[in-house]
Every structure is written in structure tokens, then in C-alpha cells.
Amino acid sequence: MKKISLRKNIMHFITVFLTTFVLLYLVAIYSNIPFIAKYRSLYIETAMSTMTHQWLATKFIPKSVIDDVLNQRDNPGIKKGDGSNGFIAKIKNLFHLNGREWFVAVFDEINMESFDKYKENNPDVLKNGYENILIDESKIGDARTGIVTNQGDNVVAIDSKNKILIIEVKGEGYNGRLAIAKDSSKVRVGMAEGVNENQKNEGSQIDELSKYNNAILSINASGFVDYDGNGNGGQPIGAIIENGKVINTPVGGNWFTVGFDYNDMMLIGRNIPEGELRDAVEFMPALILDGEKQVEGSSGWGIQPRTAIGQKANLDVLMLVVDGRQLGHSIGTTVGECADIMERYGAVQAINLDGGASSIMYYNNHPVTIPAIRYDVGRWIPNIIMVENQ
């Protein structure tokens, strides 16, 4: 009798467990409760926006549910833009300024009270004048400068000679770097050695790319063929133009071409006339077009390490990299949060670039972000968006 009773109890436990599991599964997959629906969508978006971890969604969630979530990416309410730059109207006239006046005008994001406190504690910072200030505490874990922006973010690097400002951007669950390049004529696409001539089927890591292209500041740019996460950066995807030369053809569809024309203005669009851009790549989604934000929250793209680029009305270029997939440091961010960062610093145009394990920023011969891969200089990639070293 005891054996029969024990067997019944085990069977009852198994039945209750399986019934509970099935009910919880059905609630998690099909419930319209806002909290559950939000995090179900975020889980699906994050898994499906990777190349190697889509099985985390497809193995457990019906295709119809996944498709419903991903269809948000093509929301017809999102403006597509035409590549125009109607809000960009003027260039700073700095020729008549020098010394502190020049510095204040160029680096107008810096809270000068905080800079003056730094200067008092580090008088050597001005030994070569305001035009040659070089402060570099941009590595993750470096000492804080105490200099902040007018938006309240920590300044980690000021490079007057190259007209570059690098800022730490932090939020709930993410940590990254925003670089502001003040001379957009120096912002270009740099290809890995041999890739544009098809001399070898392999990209380069960002330190090699920076050295080869004489870059003081670089971020990853184009996507590339990456089956099973084993891509070596040798087969880029999407339109690429380097110094007026067409390297790769557009994907089209929902992808946007982003690049700089011969007046150093950023254009983002799907049908930009041939010959109009000097340097360009292609990716998606657009974050801001002509001053109007195009995405909110995840917008179907989940939480990932991210790279993005934008431009302010005064032609300053914003280069953003947010780390991800690293507990205790940075999980990643949504495209909406990237748009928020860009908007906070005045972007009138901005777009998401290749992200995930490829996301990385490199400045002054060292990485300033931590890629979601074991190499401190990141993956092998086909190209960079860069600032030429002066």
C-alpha cells in the first residue's frame, strides 16, 4: 500500500508540475498582460537581432509570435526620410578666435567651471596653450577627470589638436562612450587593407585598421557575412564608398545609406544620387532624420551592444559605442536609448550601425570600450568610420 501511495504521490507531483509548467509557458508566450508582453517582445527582439543566438527564440517560441514582434520593425508610422539635411544651416566661424575663446567655442559641450577646477589641479594641461590640450582618461577604469558636460556626463578625453571630445554615457544597464568630432571634413570611411581590392578575404581588427588608415579615432562601421558567428570581416554587406570610390553596392530594402557629401554634411536616405557622397556605408534603422526621432524603446531591435553615428546642426559628428553582454559592466542598450543619447547632444541626423560583438571604439592607440568578445581590440571587421589624425 505504501508503494502504491508513494507512486500516486509522485504521479500527482509530476502532473501538477507539468500542468503548471504548461500554463506558465502559455501565459509567457500568449498573454497580453503589458508587463509580460513587454519582456517577451524584448527577449525575442534581442535573440533575433543576433546572427548566432536566434535559436534562443526559435527553439521555444512559435514562429507566428516571433513574426508579430519583428513586424514592429517595419511600422509604417516610422518616417523613412529622403537623405535631406534641411536643419543643417551653418558652420561655426572660428577663424577670428584663439586661446580660451576658441576652446570655449569649439568644445561648447564642456562645463567650463568643471574644466577650470581640473586646470587648477593640473596646471600643465595648458603648457602648450588651449589649442594643444590633450587629456586622455578614456579607457574603461581610468581615473575620472572631474570635467563634465553641460548635460552632466563625465568627460574622459579632450584632444584640441584633433578637435575631439569623448564622453562617458551611462544609463540603466548600459555603459558607453560618445565621441564628438568637431571637424567633419576629417571624418571618413577607412577600409581594411586589401578588402576593397578583393586581394584577401579577411578584414582587420580595429587597431590595425586605425594604423593603416592614419586614424586617431575609429568605430566599427559596416556589417559583414557572419554565418554561425565565424565571419572574418572579409565580405562586407551594404553600400560602401571610400573617398568617392564605390567599394560595395547597396542592399536596399529597409537599409539606409549614411554618409558625408563633399560639403561634409551627413545624408541618410535610400535613394541618394550617385556621386553625391564622398564616404558612406549602409545599415539600419535610422534613429533621427532632420531633427525628428524615428525610434522609441526597442522598436523591434532588442537590447544589444551598439554603434551609431550622427551629426549636429553645426556639422559636429557624434560617434557612439555602447558596450553589452557583460554583467556588472554593461548589458547593452536599445535603439531608442541610442537615439535619446544622440538627441541629448543635439543630433539632427543619426543612424544605427553594425553592433553586437563588432561594436568597439578606438582612440589614441587604445580601445576605449570593451567589446563583447575575448579580444580587447575586437573582431576582424571590414571597415571603420574614423577621424584622420592631424
Per the structure, the count of domains in the chain is 2
Q: What pTM was computed for the model?
A: 0.83
Report yes or no on 292 lying in a domain.
Answer: yes
Is the pLDDT confidence value at 307 over 80? yes
Report yes or no on 130 lying in a domain.
Answer: no
Is the pLDDT confidence value at 116 over 50? yes
Q: Which residue has the higher pLDDT, 74 or 227?
A: 227
Q: Are 388 and 227 in contact (CB under 8 A)?
A: no
Strand ranges (E), 199-285:
215-220, 223-224, 236-237, 240-242, 245-248, 256-261, 266-269, 277-283
- Tell me the percentage of the chain whose pLDDT exceeds 70: 79
**Closest listed residue to residue 287, CA positions, set 353, 364, 221:** 353
Tell me how far apart the alpha carbons of residues 154 and 131 are, in angstroms, rounded to a whole number: 21
Least confident stretch, 62-76, 165-179, 289-303: 62-76
Report yes or no on 266 lying in a domain.
Answer: yes
- Whether 174 and 36 share a structural domain: no
What confidence tier does 80 reach under pLDDT thresholds 50, 70, 90? very low
**Domain end (from 42, 74, 106):** 74
- Whether 168 and 62 share a structural domain: no
Is the pLDDT confidence value at 44 over 90? no
Asked if omega into 285 is within 30° of 0 (cis), the reply is yes
* CA angle centred on 110, ends 360 and 160, rounded to 5°: 70
What confidence tier does 16 reach under pLDDT thresholds 50, 70, 90? confident
The torsion angles phi and psi of 19, rounded to 5 degrees, stand at: -65, -45
- Whether 183 and 67 share a structural domain: no
Tell me how far apart the alpha carbons of residues 250 and 223 are, in angstroms, rounded to a whole number: 12
**Domain end (from 74, 95, 128):** 74
What confidence tier does 18 reach under pLDDT thresholds 50, 70, 90? confident
Is the pLDDT confidence value at 224 over 70? yes
- Whether 318 and 195 share a structural domain: yes
Q: How far apart are the first and last CA of the chain?
A: 89
Average of pLDDT values for 359-370?
Answer: 98
- Whether 180 and 63 share a structural domain: no
What confidence tier does 300 reach under pLDDT thresholds 50, 70, 90? confident
Residue 224 CB-density burial (10 A; 0-12 exposed, 13-18 middle, 19+ buried): buried
Is the pLDDT confidence value at 91 over 60? no
Report yes or no on 106 lying in a domain.
Answer: no
- Computed on alpha carbons and rounded to an integer, the radius of gyration of the chain in Å comes to 24
**Closest listed residue to residue 383, CA positions, set 241, 257, 180, 273:** 241
pLDDT of residue 89: 40
pLDDT of residue 47: 59
Report yes or no on 133 lying in a domain.
Answer: no
Q: Which residue has the higher pLDDT, 139 or 28?
A: 139
pLDDT of residue 78: 32
Domain that holds residue 287: 164-388
Q: Which residue has the higher pLDDT, 48 or 179?
A: 179
**Domain end (from 47, 74, 101):** 74
Average of pLDDT values for 158-167?
Answer: 98
What confidence tier does 23 reach under pLDDT thresholds 50, 70, 90? confident
Tell me how far apart the alpha carbons of residues 71 and 90 are, in angstroms, rounded to a whole number: 39
Report yes or no on 353 lying in a domain.
Answer: yes
pLDDT of residue 82: 40
Is the pLDDT confidence value at 230 over 60? yes
Average pLDDT, the chain: 86
Is the pLDDT confidence value at 178 over 70? yes
Report yes or no on 237 lying in a domain.
Answer: yes
CA dihedral 175, 179, 180, 184 (to 10 degrees): -140
pLDDT of residue 50: 54
Report yes or no on 141 lying in a domain.
Answer: no
- Whether 212 and 343 share a structural domain: yes
- Whether 203 and 323 share a structural domain: yes
Tell me how far apart the alpha carbons of residues 346 and 342 are, in angstroms, rounded to a whole number: 6
- Whether 191 and 42 share a structural domain: no
